[in-house]
Amino acid sequence: MAITVKTLWEEGADILSLSIIAGEQYLDRKLPETTMNRPGLALTGFFQYFANQRLQIFGLAEFTYLKSLPQEEKMKRLVELFEQQIPGIVITRNRKAPREILDLAEEYKVPVMRTPMVTMNFVNECTVILEKLTAPQERIQGTCMELMGIGVLLRGAPGIGKSETALSLVERGYSLVSDDVTEVRRTTRGRLVCWANEVTRYHMEIRGLGIIHVPSLFGVAAIRRQTELDLVIDLKPPTGDEDRTGVHPDVIELMGVKVPCITLPVRSGRDMANIVEVAALNQKLKELGHDAAKELDDKIINRLTRGRVRNG
Amino acid sequence: MAEETIVKDFKVMNEYGIHARPAALLVKAAGKYECDIFIEKDGNKVSCKSIMGLMTIEGYPGSIMKVSASGCDAADAMNEIGELFNSKFGED
């Protein structure tokens, strides 16, 4: 997914303390490779391999090198750099941009930004933002909760009780991430991150009540901005075909990522919040390497097969 | 219809005996029927609809289990339970 320098500017200007010092009207330039490049080597005149599609970062090294060049040579090298159709420049450590760069930026229609941050910190922060901007993202149907550090996505047909279950969980002290509509992003680590749509964030719709605002009713501890997804729970009408042991847990694929999935039958009067709570706890236990169902099964198989030898 | 109890003996033929997976299959099969189904071995009798019960009955490979079913659909239930035992619970 290609983004423009403007996308980065809008998302990151605050976090990265960016200000624009030249070529503001050219912020629409595409950023084909969503990463950064230190153009030090290019400034020495080596362009055989130059990552011209990336944001160019001018740090202390680049400035010191430019300073060492005679005026004429400096201009020549900078022209060569701009000739490469670079998408944008960021100057770190709040260095004053040389006149040449500002002029060339206007001439070649390249936006130039500046930050007080040290280059290393800027690159780290900016990488995180760029990764977030370009990560695959989807909007899915489901209510997302966070229980003791375990991210749980509740899915199910409308009216099956996703929001009611979430509400009971909130009353038990757990946190709401999103109600009914959940935004999901896949990180480069292959994890899914869930959060709520900006507009409806922290609101819930409860049948018979209408819209409620969760933090107003339950306090800020009842909400969470985002969570990593650890478990999907499908609420379904009972079929009689539910998993009875949990020895072979189901896994579903969401945006190409495998996530453990549990199907819970909903019967009237069944305390779903309680079961979801235990499911999350059990998932936490599994992630710590303790799989109760499997351990019990192994124990039984061990006993039974020893018994065969004794009997035989 | 008269409440008749059907009783049959089955041998546990799979390699590991009645561990979690076979227990789950038995419970699922039994759960579909109205009738009461019990499994008995060495004087221990548990409901065939209880997974924890089946896992405690110690169904060693090679052991004989006495299955009893009583109720209107007992015959069908017995057929399905028998099928599971005879097919080694789909294992091996």
Mean pLDDT of chain B: 90
Number of domains composing chain B: 1
Residue A309 confidence (pLDDT): 52
Closest by CA position to B8, among listed B59, B56, B65 = B65
Counting one residue from chain A and one from chain B, the pairs whose CB atoms sit within 8 A come to 60
Q: d(Cα A285, Cα A306) in Å, to the nearest integer?
A: 29
pLDDT digits (tens, 9 = 90+) for B50-89: 888 888 888 899 999 999 999 999 999 999 999 999 999 9
Q: How confident is the model at residue B43 (pLDDT cuts 50, 70, 90)?
A: confident
Do residues A204 and A171 touch, judged by C-beta distance below 8 A?
A: no
Token pair, residue A232, equals 């999907």
Residue B78: C-alpha distances to residues A52, A173, B3, B81, B86 (Å): 75, 48, 15, 5, 12
Catalytic residue IDs of B: 19
Domains of chain A: 3-134 (3.40.1390.20), 137-295 (3.40.50.300)
Q: d(Cα A149, Cα A145) in Å, to the nearest integer?
A: 10
Q: How confident is the model at residue B91 (pLDDT cuts 50, 70, 90)?
A: confident
Domain of B52, in residue numbers:
5-90
Entry pTM: 0.76
Interface test with B, best of A239, A241, A250, A300 (most B CBs within 10 A): A300
Nearest CB neighbour to B31, from listed A240, A243, A304: A240
Q: Which residues pair with A147 in a beta bridge?
A: A150
Would an 8 Å CB–CB cutoff place A248 in contact with chain B? yes
CATH number of the domain to which B30 belongs: 3.30.1340.10
Residue B58 confidence (pLDDT): 87
Nearest CB neighbour to A304, from listed B28, B31, B61: B61
Arithmetic mean of pLDDT, B34-61? 89
Q: Report chain A (312 residues): mean pLDDT per 10 consecutive residues.
A: 88 94 94 94 93 95 94 94 95 93 95 96 95 90 94 92 93 95 92 91 89 94 96 92 84 94 90 94 92 91 76 48
Residue type present at position A105: A
What is this model's ipTM?
A: 0.75
Residue of A nearest to B33 (CA): A240
Which chain B residues are within 8 Å of A308, Cβ to Cβ? 17, 60-62
Residue A312 confidence (pLDDT): 44
Phi and psi, residue A138, nearest 5° = -145, 155
Residue A61 confidence (pLDDT): 94
Residues in B 69-88 with any Cβ partner in A closer than 8 A: none
